[in-house]
A and B are shown apart, each in its own frame.
Chain A
Amino acid sequence: MRRTVLLLSVLLTLSLLLAACPAPPVPQEAQPAPAQEEAAGEAMAEEGAMKVIRLGAAVSETGKFAREGKDTRQGYQLWVDWVNDEYGGIKLGDERYKVELIMYDDESDPDTTARLVEKLITEDKVDFLLGPYSSGLTKSASAISEKYNKIMIEGNGASESLFERGFKNLFAVLTPAGNYTQSALEALAAKGAKSVVIAYEDTAFPTSVAEGAQKWAKEYGLEILGVETYPKDVADVSAIMTKFKDLNPDVFVGGGHFNDAVLFTRSAKELNFSPKGMVITVGPSNPKFVAEMGPDANYIIGPTQWERTMAYKDEYFGTAEEYAQRYEAKWGEPPTYQAAESTATALVLQIAIEKAGSLDTDAVRDALHSLDIVTFYGPIKFDETGKNVAKPMGAIQIQDGNILVVAPEAAAVAELIYPMPSWDER
């Protein structure tokens, strides 16, 4: 027994040593004082020819968010390479700062995310943080950046509850979930829709979307005939669709994730449930949806954070289309909106730093709050909670297998087709 206890204690001690290893022994409290950090930054900068701004992000490379995490990483990396090689570094006064971005794999796990964000702040001594992918992981991560008074700017956590915690260091460039259906419902109401039914998955993000949809429906004078929830990873939605068919609504709003979009469309067709407009939250803007559903995908409407056909542009990446071409040339695949919003996230941070003329958290926070700009991704203006209130959510409709922006008018490239033909008329 003594031997085994010895073995155990040696291992536990070793493990702690291991945990401490990557950190150089810094003689200071666990929570570094800002002054000391700045001093460290300056000392580091004096060594190289060009001063460095350090950014950090924990983004999923593995686990359930691996796919979207990859888009996020590529979006960030595109900006890093552009700002260092093409733009010549971030401008701070007369000087140019090179960007160094440290990215770790958070394994789509909140514990790991928290650990890595803590590491980025206390060990890698990053100046600013970029967000992870998904609302849940952003919740874990932003609590830590708030504690250390580090700015975290993100483009992949849309849940409204992120911005109801009173954080002053969290900023998000994307349209929050509550506004997802705004453009679509506005356009549908303008075309004469009178009533709506809503079905959503019972998780954080779809719930925010559905609550927003109810708000906007009321705003645009649509009567809400029914609201239903369904569990995550649902395999069959026909019960909900049967119920909705009897209500005979003008508009159906539904969805949570990609798979649900497929289920809703199939189920509507099987039951011959033909509302005049079908809005599905996530899925329709993804080319994979069209590929999977074929002609059945036609007339489906979906919100989109960003499309390459949108009319936004800036002095950095040019138009949305030019950004998309740059992305394709670099990564060999077209950008998803997750990728575009990640690039925009980093770009907005850059603009704020340049505007502040400083790496100081308070100065950059003030600069972020005072931003009122348009980027290739869309307009950016933060409210006091850190949400981007300027950017409207786009709406696309699939027309003849093409994903076309139909709302808002400023970004539209096609006319919304309403009402959609019923399933047996096609």
Chain B
Amino acid sequence: MSTLTQAARPSLLRRWGGLLLWLLLLALLAIYPYTGVTGSALFTATQVFVLVTLASNWNLIGGMTGYVDFGHAVFFGLGAYSMGILVTRVPLAFSPELSFWQALPLAGLVAALFALIIGLPTLRLKGPYFSIAMLGTFVAMREIIRILRPITGGGTGLDLPPVLNRVNEYYFMLGLMGLVVALIWWIRRSEFGYTLIAIREDEIGAEMRGINTTMHKIIAFMIAAFFTGIVGAFWAWQNTYIDPDVVFIEQRTVEMVMMSMLGGLGTVWGPPLGAVVIYFLQDVVWGNLLNFHLMALGILLILLVLFLPEGILGSLGDPSSTSLGRLLRRAGRRQE
């Protein structure tokens, strides 16, 4: 955006191209179950959609707003437990399938409400303090769930009705992923999105300009929590049982962070890309790393921060943001 004329009249394709391509891809994916694939392939795809959705959600608070949430899986867990408790303990619906739809929005709301409550104090914290506070919240919630035995089943957990339908699950997650990524795309272009980025770049500056930073941060946090809660609820349904140790695992947060960072923090398409790349890395490479799986994740995270701070997409846009890019550029200059 070097001159005003260019900024004023961006081509239509430039404006809408991203969303159009996304919708096209979704349409293609919608046909996928009819190409004679097995339940296993559908299930694998569904798991990728789950990761893409989680990473995109995390990106809203972690990438765009700049509040690196190391406990985001707490919302996943709350969603999962809301689903589990509503389905098994509150028999309102006539059939298990119906109870899923009944519990789903509530699971999202529980997560969003919790984001409001926990966000009010924690979002005042800056930098690593916020990350640590959220990590603490996450661990504390796992213990609270464990202690609330009469409601949550304690360490034994809850069994959900084993109603599995891979095709329906696929379409559900496809729809949710489509919605979330499109929402992020829209936010990124909206005034709200620019406000979030302003908060990330200079929170005090943003405040000076009359932006209600607290409100914006909380709203972003609540949106991210809402959809993470929905994904958690879906996961609980699809896994047919939950207990504190399968729902509240640190790895889930680490994965969200990793995927966003690898793809490109704060970008729309980075986290989905990162999710896809990491899922297959995990399957192919780390499957062979035996017990070093988590260590490998950690090392990759460090390497990313050191050498690829802008992620794949960020580095493609601006090679000089990476040490490798700078090195190549220097080498290029020398040859000239």
Contact = CB atoms under 8 A, between A and B. Distances in A.
Contacts of B290: 62, 66
B276 to A, nearest CB: 5
A11 to B, nearest CB: 5
B32 A16 contact: yes
Nearest to A31: B39
Nearest to A142: B162
B159 interface: yes
Given A15-B48, A136-B246, A8 B241 contact: no
B273 to A, nearest CB: 5
Interface string A190-212: 00000000000111101110000
A80 B177 CA distance: 44
A147 B164 contact: yes
Contacts of B317: 4
A2 B245 contact: no
A159 B246 CA distance: 16
B239 A25 contact: no
Nearest to B317: A4
Interface stretch (A94-102, A111-119, A281-289, A339-347): A111-119
Interface in A1-36: 1-9, 11-13, 15-16, 18-20, 23, 25-28, 30-31
B316 to A, nearest CB: 6
A107 B286 CA distance: 10
B17 A1 contact: yes
Interface stretch (B20-28, B202-210, B324-332): B20-28
A231 B146 contact: yes
Contacts of A30: 33, 37-39, 42, 166-167
B28 A13 contact: yes
Interface residues of B, number: 59
B36 A28 contact: yes
Residue of A5, A26, A111 most packed against chain B (CB within 10 A): A5
Interface in B155-190: 155-157, 159, 162, 164, 166-167
A77 interface: no
A125 to B, nearest CB: 10
Contact of A115 (B17, B43, B267, B280): B43
A384 B157 CA distance: 24
Contacts of B44: 19, 115
Given A111-B47, A115-B40, A143 B17 contact: no
A208 B153 CA distance: 12
Nearest to A21: B41
A114 B293 contact: no
Contacts of A27: 36
Given A23-B40, A25-B36, A118-B39, A15 B276 contact: yes
A207 B155 contact: yes
A168 to B, nearest CB: 12
B52 to A, nearest CB: 8
Contacts of B48: 12, 15-16, 19
Contacts of A122: 38-40
Residue of A31, A63, A143, A144 most packed against chain B (CB within 10 A): A143
A274 interface: no
Given A11-B277, A203-B156, A111 B239 contact: yes
Interface in A178-196: none
The binding surface of chain A is classed by DSSP as: helix
A5 B40 contact: no
Nearest to A18: B280
B279 interface: yes
B84 interface: no
A203 B245 contact: yes
A123 to B, nearest CB: 5
Nearest to A206: B155
A208 to B, nearest CB: 8
A31 B166 CA distance: 9
A111 B47 CA distance: 8
A163 B192 CA distance: 51
Contacts of B28: 13
Contact of A204 (B29, B40, B156): B156
A402 B276 CA distance: 53
B21 A207 contact: no
A161 interface: yes
A403 interface: no
Contact of B22 (A5, A63, A110, A140): A5
Contacts of B273: 4, 7-8, 11
B154 interface: yes
Contacts of B128: none
B243 to A, nearest CB: 6
Given A5-B22, A201-B155, A207-B154, A11 B276 contact: yes
Contacts of A136: 241, 243, 245-246
Contacts of A159: 156
7 contacts: A4-B313, A5-B21, A9-B24, A30-B33, A30-B166, A123-B40, A207-B156
Interface of B: 13-14, 17-18, 21-22, 24-25, 28-29, 32-33, 35-45, 47-48, 143, 146, 149, 154-157, 159, 162, 164, 166-167, 238-241, 243, 245-246, 267, 269, 272-273, 276-277, 279-280, 287, 290-291, 293, 313, 316-317
Interface of A: 1-9, 11-13, 15-16, 18-20, 23, 25-28, 30-31, 62-63, 66, 105, 107, 110-111, 114-115, 118-119, 121-123, 136, 139-140, 143-144, 146-148, 159, 161, 164-165, 167, 201-204, 206-208, 229, 231-232
The 6 closest A-B pairs by CB, nearest first: A202-B155, A122-B38, A143-B162, A119-B40, A203-B155, A143-B240
